[in-house]
Amino acid sequence: MTNSNLLAWIDLEMTGLDPEKHHIIEIACLVTDANLNIVAEGPEIAIFQDEDILSLMNEWNVKQHTSSGLVEKIKSSDVSIKEAEELCLKFFQSHIKQHKSPLCGSSVSHDRRFLIKHMSKLANHFHYRHIDVSSFKEVIKRWYPEADEFKKASSHRAMDDIKDSINELKFYQENFFK
């Protein structure tokens, strides 16, 4: 059943920051209601990439994605980028009508650039607007410089990062949008 007030959340892990040169290596998605309660957890998928693609990662990415266990999951995955796209699209289609939900996440405009380049069918499912938790962070930092900052766990695994983003937005809602 679909609902027009539901929010679509995505997080990607990539081999780098340029969607023209780099690739998606993990995707996770979930749906919340307007009050940021998780309605459904979608797939969390390590996407197979061969050594040629993985060799494009810089030192930070190699260290981060190796220590998190993601590199091993990528190497042992049998899920292609297209299969991952289809799985995520089916998940969102079962909850949210096309073009009804903004895309939500932290620095989600960056993820959208990768989706447009590498998963265009999935990118097309969402409304053109987005809810970027990082924008709230930047506004709060400037308007309330004395306020406590939200502390993220920062595992750099896609599902953990989405849940961190939701908790961060809840923190802003509870502390600044009363």
What percent of the chain has a predicted confidence (pLDDT) above 90?
90
- The Cα 42–Cα 46 span in angstroms is 13
Is residue 128 among the annotated active site residues?
Answer: yes
Considering only residues 177 and 100, tell me which one the structure prediction assigns the higher pLDDT.
100
Catalytic residue among 51, 76, 128, 143: 128
DSSP string covering 31-68, please? EE-TT--EEEEEEEEEPP--HHHHTT--HHHHHHHHHT
pLDDT for position 156: 80
pLDDT score, position 155: 76
CATH H-level superfamily of 7-176:
Ribonuclease H-like superfamily/Ribonuclease H (3.30.420.10)
Q: What confidence score (pLDDT) does residue 2 get?
A: 61
Taking only the tens place, the pLDDT of each residue in 82-137 is 999 999 999 999 999 999 999 999 999 999 999 999 999 999 999 999 999 999 99
Domain ranges of the chain: 7-176
The stretch 55-62 carries a mean pLDDT of: 91
The model's pTM: 0.94
**Under the phi-then-psi rule, with left for phi > 0, alpha for psi from -120 to 50, and beta for the rest, what region is 102?**
beta
**Overall average pLDDT of the 42-63 stretch:** 94
